[in-house]
Amino acid sequence: MNTEMKQNLFKAQEAERKAKEAYDKALAEVGSAKDEIRNHPGIPLTVSEHALVKFMEDILGMDLQQYRTQMLNQCDHATEVDEQNRTDGFQTVYKTPGPGEKEAVFIVKQNNIVTSYANDPNSTYVKDRS
């Protein structure tokens, strides 16, 4: 076997050894992180709005399309100029009759309802007590 081939073999073996060391180190760090999580179960989880919607649709089997349609219909009924405010690429649709006694408010950006909330005149919730 010639010397150049042996040198290439030794270089490859050294690279393999270093890669194994790096892998073993990373594996140990992953194990340590998992142990840390297991030993601290108090780390709070949160639920994104998207995850909640997907849970309701896919897991619970709820038909949310009817609510999407209802939201779109409510926005369509807010045709008065004083029921809409358009600034900075946003459109706020308000004074829209919602379910019950609530007044629905929709925030629209680029023809997409991005959020909504209710102005409920019967609500006992106080947003700001100061």
pLDDT given for residue 25 in this prediction = 95
Model's pTM, two decimal places?
0.48
What distances in angstroms separate CA 21 from CA 18, 32, 84, one per listed residue?
5, 16, 63
How many CB atoms are located within 10 Å of the residue 96 CB? 22
- Residue whose entry in the numeric block shows the structure tokens 């358009």: 86
Higher pLDDT: 79 or 33? It is 33
| Phi–psi pair at 77, nearest 5 degrees | -80, -15
Pick from 101, 109, 52: nearest CA to 75:
109
What digits encode the pLDDT tens for the residues 16-49? 999 999 999 999 999 998 888 888 777 777 899 9
